[in-house]
Amino acid sequence: MSLLEVCDITKIFGGLVALNEVDFTVEKGSVVGLIGPNGAGKTTVFNCITGNYVPESGDILFRGKSIRGKKPHKVVELGIARTFQAIRLFGKLSVLENVLAGRHCRLKSGLLSSLFHTPAQRREEEAAVERCLEELHFVGLDRVWQEEAGSLAYGSQRLLEIARALASDPELLILDEPAGGMNDQETASLVDVIAAIRERGTTVLLIEHDMRLVMKICEKLVVLEHGNVIAKGDPETVKTNPDVIEAYLGTDDGDDEEY
């Protein structure tokens, strides 16, 4: 059984068929890349997985169970955490508190124990802070834990979103253009972070425009064009697929990272 099975999902906006029977799987422990030209429907696939959209037809199975139509916070609880294409940090809150947001769903303290500041609540808080600092350390942002998230450099903000997602103990991490807006040095350290995430045993599904990055870290690619899957398989095979070359690599020489 695959960790994630996207089964023939179709998503329609008004008259526009954004996804047309999209079908692929993500195996446990792998790093899978979802690629395709702008507007192909990649982010829409992510939004269907995370429960932000409900596909018109088809199903999404996570660990063999359907998660179609579940609310986004439920999906996170089940073990799928995400980052956003357009960074969505809590800009005015501290770096640490952003990561604590990801930890939220693993904590138990309710209204009463919070109001009365019970010893159990305090212990849980301390453990949560420690765990979140570890995640910050993991992506290399522990030294700026007190800063406002919005004041960080763009590349650091992307890493912070990853740390926030990791804090929820995800089994599957989905990253929407994690290298978007990063310079070469930042991209290089992102590659390290993704490799380390994989070493932790977390499965990764990512959307990426930077073909060098994709070829380097993904063992499987799914290529979307106009809402259709036009190819899937290992990077070498996909790279030489004529449809892919025409649809995607043809218009973008593969080393260009403007988008």
Partner 1 sequence: MSFNARTIRLGSCMALGLVLAVLPFLVNNYWTDVCVSIGLYALLALSLNVILGQAGIFHMGHAAFYAVGAYTTAILNTMFQWPIFWTMPLAGCAAGLVALVVARPIIHLRGDYLLIVTIGIVEIVRIALVNDIFGITGGSNGIFGISRPTVAGFRIVKSFHFYYLVWGMCGLSLLLFHFLWNSRVGRALNYIKADDIAAEGCGVDVSHYKLMAFVLGAFWAGMAGTLYSAKMLTIAPASFNFMESVIIFAVVILSGGSQLGVLVSAFLFIGLPELMRGLTESRMLFFGLAMMLMMVWRPQGLLPPLPRVYTKARAVLDRMAAHDSDAKPSTTQEKTL
Binding residues (CB under 8 A) for partner 1: these are: 50, 52, 71-73, 76-77, 81-82, 84, 88-94, 96-97, 100-102, 104-105, 107, 109-111, 114-117, 121, 124-126, 128-130, 133-134, 137, 140-143, 145-146, 153, 155-156, 159, 164-165, 168, 185-186, 189
Q: How far apart are CA 137 and CA 144, in angstroms?
A: 10
Pick one of partner 1, ligand ADP, Mg ion, none as the site partner of residue 18 (Cβ within 5 to 8 A by kind).
Answer: ligand ADP
Distance CA 67, CA 64 (A): 9
DSSP code per residue over 15-40: TEEEEEEEEEEE-TT-EEEEE-STTS
Q: Which residues pair with 225 in a beta bridge?
A: 228
Per partner kind, with CB cut-offs from 5 to 8 A, the member of Mg ion, ligand ADP, partner 1, none near residue 2 is none
Distance between CA atoms of 213 and 187, rounded to whole angstroms? 8
Helices (H), 1-94: 42-49, 72-78
Closest separation in Å from C-beta 259 to ligand ADP: 9
Q: Whose CA is closest to 13, among 54, 50, 71?
A: 54
The DSSP code for 200 is T
Residue 88 interacts with, from Mg ion, partner 1, ligand ADP, none (CB under 5-8 Å by kind) = partner 1
Nearer CB in complex with ligand ADP: 47/157: 47
Q: Which is nearer to Mg ion, 85 or 94 (CB)?
A: 85
Q: Which is nearer to ligand ADP, 13 or 154 (CB)?
A: 13
Q: Does residue 47 interact with Mg ion by CB under 5 A?
A: no
Please report, as ranges, the residues that interact with Mg ion according to CB under 5 A: 43, 85
